[in-house]
Structure 1
């Protein structure tokens, strides 16, 4: 009977108590934004009133009834904090203040109707449990807002990367530097200086929406996942990262900036892939092409795997192994004299020829490079002269021979010497 009477008196107090609590909260937190519902009533007041009603109704039904939380209101409070980039600390402090003020008045009602102290202690305990439930609802709303924001940022970031890496970006004019035909007459300029004053491209706008400052130069990376569910590398805010593709891609701004290579090296621990050469922003797609080419060679075992390599450190392999059909056609023509030699003998002659072309020395130098006797080298060089004749003295033919033989060595078809 006392519980029902307590609940009835408390419900009568709820409207005025909610107003008092809101007034006190605003006094202690003057910067608290006032958000109105469709009827023009403050959402905070609605939340306080519903929370009080829910708690009192729980007591009335009590006797262990399930708490009835005003879910949508307190989840909305949490979402609001998340969407405005604030933490939940201030919101929880406000909740605690509200509970303290509410309990003061509820305790007065309990004394009026002479509820025994042990019963009041139980009510106080229920109040704090109820507060925990309200906080949980706000945390849920906050987490939902944070996830939505993160998802939206990732979506916008992917759109930015798609535009940045598009081969046709320069043709469409979206983000590509304009021709500097007027003004100084120079054929080149900085990324920003080459645009018409006041003009904002699609690239500018998309970069602004994710808070990414357009750099002068970028390098584009392609990554190989160490595992299907691998956690994204912690590359930092400045690096654009798209994990939605089978082979994740990243855009590194100002790749030569002090400390950037070391930061990337640490962030990429456990990952493998390739980072293309640094290029002007408008040429980002070119850096991507080289990174993709390097990854293909890694997958074929022609470049080191198990790490994120830099294309600029593997120029020879990328230049010689990429145009495979062209190099193979040239090799068929240049190495035709070896067609009638056995595989093992042909390989030894090819290795000797390459060592000779690289050293530009005599038999002793070539022998030292190959680790064989100089007389063996003299014998092989005589055979080379017989097979190719005066062609080995022609600078253009020598260049072609060295090109195709180096390519074969990179593919593991010739031994590495020297």
Structure 2
């Protein structure tokens, strides 16, 4: 019995050619056996289609149009991502793609050719890249491949049954279809990833350009809007700059989502964050920047981003960012504006301290520190002894003794409002400086 059990009224597709192999012909089994030996010998495994009869393509050709039609009808109906895209042009492109894929599949039986030739590989890669450009995930295309594989195997295996082909041909055909779809999927996924990576790289460059323009200042509104559009970001009315360690960038980028842009620089990372109502959004910002030791500048309009960035940097310089292994809560610069003032001109502050605290230089280090601490609290509490005593944990009489000592040293200067202001200023600056040194250590 031949591969095709056809009567005289139905001519064999290979009429005029060499006679097809008999069902009991051992050539098919010999080819399968040889393929297995090749794989066991350490070389690359033979493709499953090598074991198929070369004439199979002609035998199955009449079944192909029905398979193509069913795929075109089924795929858009079963995969939601393609339902909205189902236009006349989409249907035409789908028809050409499915027909080309089946032609390539049926060119494989009896050969050791790769699943895809150069032309079909480029077409399949274009499908994967196109999915990304259309804003779809790879799930839709992979589902389309799987659906098409099932329909193809069902249609061609039924044709095999009508032709009376041996079961091993049907098995090898099924394995061939699976291997073919695996290759289509792999090529498409790789092309999708390449397109995604290229887009991400270009997008990151455009976002870096946008942040650079905002931080530098001086750009026209139409230019900033153009850069924001290229960076795929809606320019908010109010925003804030944030600075944080490089190690925190990936996590912040993920948590921030579309509400901000993160870029990485040589020594730090920074972000521009949409904050229309900074105080109302503080819990959300604390969540986004949790564990990052980020410093967030004040909320400003787009043209004042340089100010927000500068303030964040000034606070960060006086509150050193924690190491990645020592995460800290985010810092809101608006809570530390006085520290910026105190630390903005350290040499000027040092000169003022040397002048105003000169009376204490006659004392030893320990006694000087005790009196400086007492003097600052006495100035803060407007000369009230009890609050000073409570904060220092000492008796009010001890506070009185220390204040008397201070008045002896400073004389009438403690009665001068301007001197008292400058003393509080330099003592607060020294306290902040010592606190910073302690925290850094």
**TM above 0.5:** yes
Distance 1:126 1:155, change over 3 A: same
SS in structure 1 at match of 2:319? helix
Residue 6 (str. 1) matches residue 28 (str. 2): no
Partner of 2:363: 341
SS class of match (1:4): coil
- Cα distance in 2 for partners of 1:372, 1:101 equals 88
Query: Per-residue deviation at 1:265?
Result: 1.9
Residue equivalent to 1:186: none
* Whole-angstrom CA distance in 2 between matches of 1:237 and 1:263: 14
Within the alignment, does 1:361 sit opposite 2:411 as a pair? no
- Tell which deviates more after alignment, 90-99 or 353-362: 90-99
Shift of 1:325: 1.8
C-alpha separation in 1, matches of 2:249 and 2:279? 33
Per-residue CA deviation, residues 87-134 of structure 1 (Å, 9 max, x unaligned), is 344434544554456546644663575421332132123213322321
- Over 3 Å counting, the alpha-carbon distance change for 1:229 and 1:359 in structure 2 is closer
TM-score normalised to structure 1 length: 0.77
Deviation track 1:308-342 (CA, whole Å, cap 9, x = no partner) reads 11112223333223322221121111112222222
Which residue of 1 is the match for residue 256 of structure 2? Answer: 235
Give 1:221 shift.
0.7
Query: How many residues of Structure 1 are paired with residues of Structure 2 in the alignment?
Result: 375
Which structure's CA Rg is the greater one?
2
Is the deviation greater in 76-85 or in 49-58?
49-58
For residues 95 and 349 of structure 1, what CA distance do their matches in structure 2 show?
A: 81
2:179 pairs with 129, 151, 175, which one? 129
For residue 265 of structure 1, the aligned residue among 278, 286, 293 is 286
Query: Could you list the per-position Cα deviations for residues 231-253 of structure 1 after superposition, in whole angstroms to 9, with x for gaps in the alignment?
Result: 74511211121135431111121
Q: How well do the aligned residues superpose, as a CA RMSD in angstroms?
A: 3.5
1:140 aligns with 2:190: yes
- Give CA-to-partner distance per residue, 1:195-227, whole Å, 9 cap, x none: xxxxxx101112223343322221211012457
**Structure 1 pair 51/359, CA: closer, same or farther in 2 (3 Å)?**
same
Q: Structure 2 matches for 1:41-120, cutoff 5 A?
A: 44=94, 47-61=97-111, 67-68=115-116, 70-96=120-146, 98-99=148-149, 102-103=152-153, 106-107=156-157, 110-111=160-161, 114-120=164-170
1:216 to 202, 213, 237: 237
Q: TM-score, normalised by structure 2?
A: 0.73
The Cα offsets for residues 365-409 of structure 1, whole Å up to 9 and x where unpaired, read as 544443334443333333322322222111111100010011112
Find out whether 1:308 has 2:330 as its counterpart: yes
Structure 1 residue runs of 5 or longer lacking an equivalent are 37-41, 176-200
C-alpha separation in 2, matches of 1:21 and 1:366: 88
| More helix, by proportion | 2
d(CA) in 2 for partners of 1:174, 1:404: 42
* Contact 1:18–1:45 (CA under 8 A) maintained in structure 2: no
Question: CA separation of 1:143/1:32 partners in 2, compared to 1, >3 Å: closer, same or farther?
Answer: farther
Secondary structure of the residue aligned to 1:399 is helix
